[in-house]
Amino acid sequence: MGKKEEYLPLYEKVSLKRTYNRVIDSFILLLLFLLLRYRLISIKNTFTIPSFLAFLSESWFTFTWIVILNTKWNPAATKTHIQLLLQRVPDLPAVDLFVTTADPILEPPIITVNTVLSLLALDYPANKLACYVSDDGCSPLNFYALCEASKFATLWVPYCKNYNVQLRAPFRYFSEAANTISEGDSLQFKQQWLQMKDLYDNLSRKIEDATREPILFPLDGEFEVFSNTHPKNHPSIVKVILENKEGVCDGVPHLIYISREKRPNHPHQYKAGAMNVLTRVSGLMTNALFMLNVDCDMIVNNPKIVQHAMCILMDPKKGKEVAFVQCFQQFYDGIKDDPFGNQWVSAFEYIIRGMAGLQGPFYGGTNTFHRRNAIYGLYPDEMENERKGKILMQQFGSSKEFFKSATSALEGSAYSSKQISPSNFIEEAIQVADCAYENGTSWGKQLGWIYGSISEDVPSGLNMQRKGWRSEACTPDPIPFTGCAPGNLSSTMIQQKRWTSGLTVVFFSKNSPIMCSLFGKVQFRSGLSYCWLTNWGLRSVFEVTYAVLPVYCIITNTNFLPQGLDLWIHVALAVIYYIHTLIEYLAMGLSIQHWWNNQRMSIIRTGTASFIGFLSAMLKLSGISDTVFEITQKEQPTSSSNDEVDAGRFTFDKSPVFVVGTTILMLQLTALFIKFMGLQPSPTSSNCGNGSGLGELICSTYLVVCYWPYLKGLFATGKYGIPLSTIFISAGIVYFFLLCVNLYPYYHLVLVSE
């Protein structure tokens, strides 16, 4: 290797030039400031409650746009150099792989199995990998599926590496037309392809049969530990399913099953608790200096992704400051044109690439490579220092073996692959997986994944960046991981509500971006960019307010928007914004329908799921009730014609989320009915001059168009219809609103006369 190559970085951060976006985004901000100026002058001349509420909402929208503009200003992409890594680091570092699952019904075992098989087959020395599966549902089905999959893995892993298979999740590999055998293939390949196809079909059939009929296998032998267990009440279970005892680099990595102890009266801290158990158990058994965590549906799409991530983490100059490497979430089963707005293509391209140009992207909860000593609380400036004397055993818990491994990790030394034997640490692993192990320790506070929110990812990432660490985005081609996108409206709403609830709690906690910027080392612009996430809940309050204002003004024949030519700011703002975002979508190769679906769902999600999530967070913060963790259903795609017909259609249930959406729609319909039937009162000088105008009418009509699927749901039946109970509740809320609106002038006159 020449001297020039010795100084070449293992990765580069490339700034993306987007001058046009900067100009238009800045012009939109200018229009927002002009809007606020108009609103202040209007309020000064004639103060009304609608105008004041509009001012508050528009102020928040302006702040939100400042956050977006700040985030999008310096987009960046990373370029990694694998060949340089292999030349400079012939002995690649070990990586522990974490997979989390919690419910065998909502997260079918066959999906988890495919994720695990794709990880076991990574293009990386097998003796440097260990895969840990956390089963928070304590399901014998998951353990059975992994045991059966381990037998298949001994043939699947060599097959993938021998034939350089790109898609290493079997169900994806065999379902792709490009991966079928052809006349030009060798006889040996054809035979092995057919053999692997038959073996996988048998594996899939076994797992699906066991899922339908759990009594097919008795709870004895290896399964005896699952007898008399309940998902929320069981002891710790740790099983070594596969063990690469010889440390063979071309064999199959370790595979370990973990179900941490749970007891009814002991808080289990949701996914954060599971991740901390995985960290401790892996620290005992393999203690790799780097860790990858993925959700159970996130299969490997680029088998060289570990090498790409190591280019960033092992870079001799910039890599030492990187705590975690984030790969974007992308989906293999996304419905065409994203009808539910849950594929986040635009957000990844513009928002997260923008954060990558600052202190780094947020931790997204999956598809993330972590530096173990950063998870253990190390500061980046302590990387070169010995910290053994600074740490206390009490911080890490009572296990001497684990404290020894943690000290080793903090000093940057890893186990030799020949020394690793996970089965030798079963007893210690069970101890550190017990629910009482963390009592009196720093887990969930200064160490590991941070507790206090059901969105454990963002505060955990902020906790590391608060100490001065950076993060990097890893975006090789092909994309690293692909997963299941929520396949229906209910799953999308559950996911959005959970995210909003957790992120709102983060915003009001000590781990908020504001606190981390004021009292930590999170850069100001980076902390501001986090507000795009953590303020989803607060944004929903102002969007719901803005949705109700035109209804109130139409019913009372008042206005909160200017009339005549004075409406030009609002019109210009709306037209420029929508044309600008449309151009952004078209530039990414997306369709106009995709753009409209995302615009519509942004309105629906924010006004419904985010609003309910915000209320849930407020109840938690006030101590009235705790947040309920709801798992998003994972569905393996099928090729049935019924699924293709139903794809993208809105389905409804009795969730409170749909009550909010139905209420907003019925309010708009009521206002429009009153407007067109001429049932409004006559305008007077005391209720805003000339009464409601074109602006209020356009706003209300636009919301009806956005909620058009709800309007269809009012008249549909079955799962495509809004339940009668939801309609009645919404009608009651609308009636109460009308009652309050009609009584308001009376109370206003009474107060004025007094």
The pair of three-digit structure tokens given for residue 306, joined into one six-digit string? 């570990």
Q: Report which of 507, 508, 537, 512 is spatially closest to residue 522, judged by C-alpha positions.
A: 512
- The tens digit of pLDDT for each residue in 224-250 reads 899 888 999 999 999 999 999 888 888
Segment holding 472, helix H or strand E: strand 470-473
Segment holding 44, helix H or strand E: helix 19-45
Is 17's pLDDT higher than 70?
Answer: yes
Is 685's pLDDT higher than 60?
Answer: no
Residue with tokens 């005892």: 245
Can you give 81-147 as a three-state secondary structure string?
CHHHHHHHCCCCCCEEEEEEECCCCCCCHHHHHHHHHHHHCCCCCHHHEEEEEEECCCCHHHHHHHH
Name the active-site residue from 96, 135, 136, 315.
136
| Residue ranges of domains in the chain, CATH in brackets | 92-175+188-213+220-385+395-413+421-486 (3.90.550.10)
Is 602's pLDDT higher than 90?
Answer: yes
Determine the Cα angle at 490 with ends 486 and 495, to 5°. 60
Q: Report which of 13, 685, 667 is spatially closest to residue 361, judged by C-alpha positions.
A: 13
The pair of three-digit structure tokens given for residue 425, joined into one six-digit string? 């640490």
User: Would you call 136 a catalytic residue per the annotation?
Assistant: yes
- The tens digit of pLDDT for each residue in 523-556 reads 999 999 999 999 999 999 999 999 999 999 999 9
Work out the mean pLDDT of the chain and round it to a whole number: 90
**Which pLDDT belongs to residue 750?**
43
Q: CB–CB of 680/550 below 8 Å? A: no
Q: CB–CB of 395/442 below 8 Å? A: yes
Annotated binding site for UDP-alpha-D-glucose: 107, 136
Q: CB–CB of 167/173 below 8 Å? A: yes
**Which pLDDT belongs to residue 392?**
73
Annotated binding site for Mn(2+): 271, 295
**Which pLDDT belongs to residue 637?**
52
| Collapsed DSSP state (helix, strand, coil) of residue 679 | coil
Average pLDDT over residues 301-318: 96
- 701 or 181, higher pLDDT: 701
**Which pLDDT belongs to residue 411?**
86
DSSP state of 11: E
Distance CA 159, CA 165 (A): 8
| Collapsed DSSP state (helix, strand, coil) of residue 678 | coil
- The tens digit of pLDDT for each residue in 361-412 reads 999 999 999 999 999 999 998 876 654 446 677 889 999 999 999 998 988 8
Buried b (16+ CB within 10 A) or exposed e, 464-490: bbbbbbbbbbbbbeebbbbbbbbbbbb
Q: What percent of the chain has pLDDT over 90?
A: 75
Predicted model pTM: 0.93
DSSP state of 590: -
Is 267's pLDDT higher than 60?
Answer: yes
Average pLDDT over residues 694-718: 95
- The tens digit of pLDDT for each residue in 32-63 reads 999 999 999 999 988 899 999 999 999 999 99
With a CB cutoff of 8 Å and minimum separation 6, the contacts of 359 are: 465, 470, 471, 522, 523, 526
Residue 642: band (very low, low, confident or very high) from pLDDT cuts 50, 70, 90 = very low
Q: How many CA atoms lie within 13 A of 722 on its CB side?
A: 26
**Which pLDDT belongs to residue 645?**
59
Annotated binding site: 107, 136, 271, 295
Q: CB–CB of 88/121 below 8 Å? A: no
Name the active-site residue from 96, 135, 333, 457.
457
User: Would you call 566 a catalytic residue per the annotation?
Assistant: no
